[in-house]
Structure 1
Amino acid sequence: MSELIPLPESLVPFLESYLPNESNTNHPNRPFVTLTYAQSLDSRISAKPGTQTKISHMETKTMTHYLRTRHDGILVGIGTILADDPKLTCRFPNCKSQPRPIIIDPNAKWKYQYSTLAGLCRADDNVLAPFIIVDESATIDSGSYDCVVKQGGKYIRLPLRGNSSNWLDILDILKQEGIKSVMIEGGARVINDLLDFNQVTNIIDSLIITIAPVFLGNEGVEVSPGGRVDVQNVTWWQGIQDTVLCGRP
């Protein structure tokens, strides 16, 4: 596990107006939604499907963990889970509470009991077990179910198949579960779907994109929604290597 470097002091005030608070949510009855991810100059988030690719500098990696201190939940799709086996924890210094991992897994593919996150939950009581959102007709592996429930997580059934990702129902149920803010980190299918959905129903409160000075090529996994998305209230931050864009779509 690599150590985090100190967060650049200029990032804190730069990010502040784009982070959750009671006065800046579009929808007070749903969680504050931050869409955040790292991409290459050619809008790729990994070099190939199903592979983990290091893109961002250590500065912006630390920024990601700082953002996790400011949100109640971290949401990713099953593609990210199967490709990366991510920890989905916060390692920022003096993090007061861990965010809740939230996984969109319509077909219940994840064998949670064998994951890195399950191991972390066994070793550290402060790490939270996930909420796993599956389709209402999905067949859940009994070993995964038992492990999730034993560690304090849960499976949540929603009508997902044939209905995009059903973002309104997902966000409504998360608010009912006490999640007041959620940072959505990927992967590409989740990001593209959320950006498309946001054109119909405005659910994204904040957009924070790290752009690394690299091209990953045409085999890479691309972030590209189905139509034009205009971003408002844009500001930029320049680090040692990466550039960070903040805005509101």
Structure 2
Amino acid sequence: MSIHEKVKSFLSPYYSNETFLSNNRPFVTLTYAQSLDGKISGKGGKQLRLSCEESMIMTHRLRTYHDGIMVGIGTIINDDPRLTARLLEIGEESKINQPQPIILDSELRFPLSAKLLTSNECKSPWIFTSHNCDNEKRKILEQLGAKVIPIDSDQIGQLSLTHLLSILHIQPFSIKHLMVEGGARIIQSFLKNELIDLLIVTTAPVFVGPEAVSATGDNRKTIEVSMII
């Protein structure tokens, strides 16, 4: 059995049970790679290599099970990802419907040079921002193909995840399965607000150190999710 077959065999059961689907928001999978000491990036958000080939293949396979992939603006600025499913079996990439990139960017800092705006391999992003965003920047982003959607903020001034998920679930967005990949603030917000149905964490056999960024921050609250792998 190839690594691709093993990954499909491992993941498929978790996405075959439609009873986990909510009536008012998408099914949310939170996934990230961490070190043995629970760090997901270096000091100041510097990117770390924490995933082996097998876990990368699993991540890209996971993307094929989802309608949308969500990251925060920090991930766009630091990593400039394409957010596509690529590490698949030969010939498979052209047959799948790529997930929709969904970005949380309250201050509309999205770089105009980002791959999501300039690469033909990527779907144009949906950028969710605050109601008081820079309208000139919004116009430029929309001219480059992005869809910019202002949404409500929560009590502490961050974009409201509850409001966002309720919007994503209905038309014209119609996102039924959402994959959340980070960064740290997004991960912490989903954990804190208990908006996760499936949590997938891979752990690299390394220690990064106390100055690196933790997946959970200072949050030690016990949470309930439908499934943890």
State the partner residue of 2:181. Answer: 185
Structure 1 gaps of 5+ residues are 1-5, 235-244
CA deviation string 1:149-204 (max 9, x = no partner): 553x3111012263443111111111121111110000111111110111xxxx31
Say whether residues 1:171 and 2:165 are aligned partners. yes
> TM-score, normalization: structure 1?
0.80
The equivalent position to 1:229 in structure 2, one of 222, 225, 229, is 222
- Code of the residue aligned with 1:221 in structure 2: it is V
Structure 1 residues 155 and 233: alpha-carbon distance in aligned structure 2, compared to 1, 3 A threshold: closer
Say whether residues 1:103 and 2:103 are aligned partners. yes
Say whether residues 1:22 and 2:18 are aligned partners. yes
Distance in 2, matches of 1:20 and 1:145, equals: 41
State the partner residue of 1:118. Answer: 117
Distance in 1, matches of 2:223 and 2:7, equals: 24
Q: 1:35·1:183 contact (CA, 8 Å) conserved in 2? A: yes
Say whether residues 1:77 and 2:72 are aligned partners. yes
Say whether residues 1:61 and 2:60 are aligned partners. no
Per-residue deviation, 1:147? 4.3
> TM-score, normalization: structure 2?
0.86
Identity between Structure 1 and Structure 2 (%): 39
State the partner residue of 1:219. Answer: 211
CA deviation string 1:19-77 (max 9, x = no partner): 3753222x222111000011101110012223111111011001110001110000001
Distance in 1, matches of 2:19 and 2:76, equals: 33
CA deviation string 1:127-154 (max 9, x = no partner): 3111100011111443x64444553x31
Structure 2 gaps of 5+ residues are none
Q: CA RMSD in A?
A: 2.2
CA deviation string 1:99-152 (max 9, x = no partner): 1100000011112x31122221xx34xx3111100011111443x64444553x
